[in-house]
Amino acid sequence: QMQFVESGGGLVQPGGSLRLSCAASGFTLEDYAIGWFRQAPGKEREGVSCITSSGGNTNYRDSVKGRFTISRDNAKNTVYLQMNSLKPEDTAIYYCATVIEIFQATCVMAPLQGSWGQGTQVTVSS
């Protein structure tokens, strides 16, 4: 059974940094593109970033470009999201999921799976 466990969230001041981890189990991570998503209170879940199965290509939503970096370690079955220069509007629960991959050349921030893990809470506040 495909499962994800997200961790690394917490309370941080504006301008601070966090590194989120997404540990996968029940499947071979290297076969899938993976994306990070987030959901703020009262808002729809939105795609934040994704990375192709090889790790060779990434995509980001405009509001996090230049601040967030996605990476993966297939040997550890883990995907990371390094978040720098955090802003209050980044406050949300962050989730990871398998996403659409096109010819292993690019990924689309659209989840393939129908269920989600518990996520990890990120709160940016002074």
Identify the burial level of 1 via C-beta atoms within 10 angstroms of its C-beta, where 0-12 means exposed, 13-18 middle and 19 or more buried.
Answer: exposed
Query: What pLDDT, on a 0 to 100 scale, did the predictor assign at position 28?
Result: 86
Q: Which residues pair with 3 in a beta bridge?
A: 25
pLDDT (0 to 100) of residue 75? 92
Tell me the residue length of the chain: 126
Count of CA atoms in the C-beta half-sphere (13 A) of 126: 3
Residue by residue, pLDDT tens for the chain (126 residues) are 889 999 999 999 999 999 999 999 888 889 999 999 999 999 999 999 999 999 999 999 999 999 999 999 999 999 999 999 999 999 999 999 999 999 888 999 999 877 788 999 999 999
State whether the Cα torsion 63-57-80-4 is positive or negative. Answer: positive
Residue 115: the pLDDT is 79
* 12 vs 27: CA distance, rounded Å: 33
SS3 35: strand
Alpha helices in the chain (DSSP H): none
